[in-house]
Structure 1
């Protein structure tokens, strides 16, 4: 009897990468099953590093748990959408109304839903490089094509609006912005954002702005929301409870649609239809939204001198400055650092091979930089969530691996003496 044929899968999955939870993470699980202890810096997951969601958010869910059994409206609990609209109105967002708010099972679901509503096969989306790879994956899986605009390390990972405009084609439908950026930590100034909005206006492109790290800022860095600058131009703003409020597992995200109502009518209807098809987002977590967006600030202290995130970031900056093998554009925001390997250690450097060697030899899991859709292979990403002492230890281990690589590259093999000619 012949063996059954393997079940085929969708062909476009071959184009999708997500190394944050990919092959290296699977190798990590194998090592842990063998009893190895690893320091895993591949995911920005606060709960794995001892952070808890603020108590007033926990109480908000507990107090309303008795009301969480039924489905709710496909766009989210009315009280939650009212709270989000009010919070964003205070920021100057135009059209901050509850009927323009969509609550999802995390921002990830809403990214997929918005691209499904927008794209026809072959449509293009302008995506930053480096990007959070879900944006590329969701574009591909919704039959679109990501087109990358460069945010170069030598430019502080800031995008170039002139380059963005050169990439616009007749198939371009949207521009994605991640601000503050994951993985680089760059924060975009108002003047730059205004120029990108102008590009979107000239070409009638939807602005998709991922602002999940909007309040995680360091050393006086400022955050400029995009929607107030876009005004009546179509813009979708994404955020949620995962990062600022350290509640990743609750899977609570939201998006706000701003811009001219007549221009957005069909797109808004498509978002409503797709929201209805998945019935609704998880209900218990939605009862924490009002407490989160209208309650006390619990993140600024963590990002200020003496705060845990600030001190860990400073430990990374100091370690890279002291290393002869690393360079770093200091992150202005978000939960990550994106160092570059330089000098002899960078010769013939392969970020994936380095990540594997670092994990096998030193017990540290990082994400290769090429996972974030960049053309170079000499970067890696770490999360800033461990404490500062742990991070100093981590960068000591990283330097040991890089020193060994540099030694292998620079080691001179002595020439054999030539035999005498008789």
Structure 2
């Protein structure tokens, strides 16, 4: 049999896909976890990934679990669903989101997706055209960069300002935009910064988008996970100023990221997204992609309608407690500084001062050696657009969080430069 190496094969891997996947949070965390010391008998402390579902104190409500079981056992949701999602689920989500808006959403404004990730994919895919660019926050959620690269959508970054509670630098947004700019992305409550935008700031964001003639993609997968001074305000409130595509899901608020149920919602009372064929393109995109499992869609109405407020308050109270632990314990570690106490989501951004450390080159080197020496996983800031910063999640058991931050302090003491 002829040796396969002598044949000139006509296929090869798509290198652009490899490059794009390498800048995702999962890709970088997997690389860091490869450095864990198998001989360390202490539990690994996961301060890098926003998935608290493995911790008993963050278990989802029994109402959601029962809704899933009953939907599956009913045998009513075993067939293919419409590509936009089943009507009862879309109607319920529209009603659920309308409670926070000055107008009512229609089920036709709601498109069900496989988690927030697919909602991002769809939004960026329908906006991608030759030469188009999109404005993304720095720091931000790198999945946007990865998907934009995959869709040949050019990226321009505007800064979030730590000295102003991570507000959008709106002057920079205006300076970056040109006639080929199609949208700007905001993430509220903030990932990775743990900030919550005020009503007044969001109104200015909408005004800037209107001035530039672009739409706003509002990533609100952490909606209502706010525990500071500022309440959560959905960007859709300002849909009459500039059209909004909202990315949402049940993943974070209900602590079920593995259920993969999200949505893309059009908040556009003026009908601009229909006029510009965005709505038509969303439907077209969904026609050639997968959709969430039908039985999960079938459970959505009961999950949204029957979850008790005390469940949400329990989660908020835990996050308030752990964010406080995180902020206070970081003050005890001289090489990292948190410029703004987190008020929402599940994360804090902290600045790393490598000049205080021996044999640590940068944030990636810090995280790699921390994993090897202390079995603590932290996300390097370079993954979210800020070199020599770190993203730390506080959505874990309080005792585990204190343990993890204590190990980081020990790591600092071992690597600190001697005065």
Query: Structure 2 length normalisation: TM-score?
Result: 0.90
Distance 1:140 1:343 in 2: 31
Number of aligned positions between the proteins: 404
Q: Does 2:318 align with 1:311?
A: no
Q: 1:131 to 1:245 in 2, by over 3 A?
A: same
> Structure 2: where are the runs of 5+ without partners?
none
Choose between structure 1 and 2 for higher RCO, CA contacts under 8 A separated by at least 6 residues. 2
Q: 1:226 to 1:38 in 2, by over 3 A?
A: same
Partners of 1:72 and 1:283 within 8 A in 2: yes
Distance 1:219 1:11 in 2: 41
Distance 2:15 2:118 in 1: 19
Distance 1:97 1:183 in 2: 31
Distance 1:100 1:110 in 2: 13
Query: Which one of 163, 168, 191 corresponds to residue 182 of structure 1?
Result: 191
Correspondence 1:342-361 to 2 at 5 A = 342=353, 344-345=355-356, 349-361=361-373
Distance 1:95 1:270 in 2: 23
Q: Which residue of 2 aligns with 1:112?
A: 121
Correspondence 1:220-231 to 2 at 5 A = 220-231=229-240
Partners of 2:32 and 2:377 within 8 A in 1: no
Partners of 2:332 and 2:409 within 8 A in 1: no
Q: Does 2:222 align with 1:213?
A: yes
> Structure 1: where are the runs of 5+ without partners?
412-422
What is the aligned-residue RMSD (CA, Å)?
Answer: 2.2
Correspondence 1:6-405 to 2 at 5 A = 7-11=12-16, 13-14=18-19, 17-28=22-33, 31=36, 37-50=43-56, 51-65=58-72, 66-92=75-101, 94=103, 96-231=105-240, 233-259=242-268, 260-261=270-271, 263-265=273-275, 266-278=277-289, 280-295=291-306, 296-297=308-309, 298-304=311-317, 308-328=318-338, 329-342=340-353, 344-345=355-356, 349-374=361-386, 377-405=387-415
Residue 27 of structure 1: CA displacement?
Answer: 4.8
After superposing the two structures, state which structure 1 stretch, 249-258 or 92-101, moved more.
92-101
Q: 1:395 to 1:287 in 2, by over 3 A?
A: same
Q: 1:382 is paired with a residue of what secondary structure?
A: strand
Distance 1:167 1:156 in 2: 22
Partners of 1:315 and 1:392 within 8 A in 2: yes
Query: Structure 1 length normalisation: TM-score?
Result: 0.89
Q: 1:384 to 1:99 in 2, by over 3 A?
A: same
Q: 1:106 to 1:222 in 2, by over 3 A?
A: same
What's the CA shift string for 1:369-422, capped at 9, x where partnerless? 110012xx2211122122222211211111222233322xx46xxxxxxxxxxx
Q: 1:152 to 1:16 in 2, by over 3 A?
A: farther
Residue 25 of structure 1: CA displacement?
Answer: 1.8
Residue 19 of structure 1: CA displacement?
Answer: 4.9
Distance 2:48 2:230 in 1: 25
Partners of 1:349 and 1:378 within 8 A in 2: no
Q: 2:135 is paired with a residue of what secondary structure?
A: strand
Residue 149 of structure 1: CA displacement?
Answer: 0.5
Partners of 1:75 and 1:275 within 8 A in 2: yes
Residue 91 of structure 1: CA displacement?
Answer: 1.2
Q: 1:338 is paired with a residue of what secondary structure?
A: strand
